[in-house]
């Protein structure tokens, strides 16, 4: 559940669009989306996401993004009220993607809380972790505010669980204190 995992949600994104001008547009829209998210401007967030979808359609010759390989956008949606997630970590603050203020860094993976808390012995099977020898002895319940951009849930490539990724992170105060993961 790390952003650099090949084949995972963090590695394939809108940067796959085919033209240089599309990439510039996408970079500008991404920056605008980050500002709108930080300001909590739901209207602007919706408009920017629609522009990104239009850009993807144009780059794929008008075909729906999912029908052309290499041009598909990851589906970004907004979290709903009461939606929560679980982030499993080693407990080593040097490698934590949970910020000291209780937010999540951009590109952080998590599991839907609807899957329930999983034992350490099942985590690699479920989430195809990049370093299975590193025990994930701590988990954080993340209560993302309604309207937080998220990709997923979707099946884990190489695992049997589901994952989400927060492309722009999650604001402070969203992650509860760490809890010991069952063995």
| Residue pLDDT, tens place only, 57-113 | 554 455 444 444 444 455 899 999 999 999 999 999 999 999 999 999 999 999 999
* pLDDT tens per residue across span 19-33: 445 455 666 776 777
Domain assignment present for residue 2? The answer is no
Whether the CB-CB separation of 152 and 9 falls below 8 Å is answered with: yes
Asked if the structure places residue 1 within a domain, the reply is no
77 token code pair: 């949606």
Domain of 55?
A: 14-76
Q: Tell me if 150 sits within 8 A of 77, measured CB to CB.
A: yes
User: Is 6 a domain residue?
Assistant: no
With bands split at pLDDT 50, 70 and 90, how would you rate the model's confidence at 54?
A: low
Do 134 and 151 fall within a single domain? yes
Instruction: Examine the domain organization and report whether 40 and 93 are in the same domain.
Output: no
Number of structural domains found in the chain: 2
| Measured distance CA(82)–CA(78) in Å, rounded | 12
Domain for residue 7, yes or no?
no
Is there a single domain that holds both residue 47 and residue 107? no
Do 105 and 172 lie in one domain? The reply is yes
Same domain (yes/no): 26, 54: yes
Both 66 and 153 in a single domain?
no
């Amino acid at each position: 559940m790390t952003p650099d995992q090949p084949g995972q949600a963090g590695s394939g994104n809108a940067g796959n669009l085919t033209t240089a001008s599309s990439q510039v547009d996408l970079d500008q829209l991404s920056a605008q989306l980050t500002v709108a998210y930080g300001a909590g401007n739901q209207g602007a967030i919706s408009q920017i996401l629609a522009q990104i979808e239009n850009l993807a359609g144009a780059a794929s010759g008008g075909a729906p993004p999912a029908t052309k390989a290499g041009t598909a956008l990851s589906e970004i949606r907004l979290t709903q009220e009461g939606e929560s997630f679980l982030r499993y970590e080693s407990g080593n603050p040097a490698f934590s993607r949970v910020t000291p203020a209780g937010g999540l860094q951009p590109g952080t993976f998590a599991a839907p809380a609807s899957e329930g808390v999983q034992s350490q012995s099942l985590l690699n099977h479920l989430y195809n972790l990049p370093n299975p020898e590193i025990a994930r002895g701590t988990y954080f319940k993340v209560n993302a505010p309604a309207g937080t951009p998220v990709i997923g849930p979707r099946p884990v490539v190489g695992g049997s669980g589901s994952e989400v990724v927060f492309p722009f992170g999650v604001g402070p105060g969203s992650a509860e204190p760490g809890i010991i993961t069952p063995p």
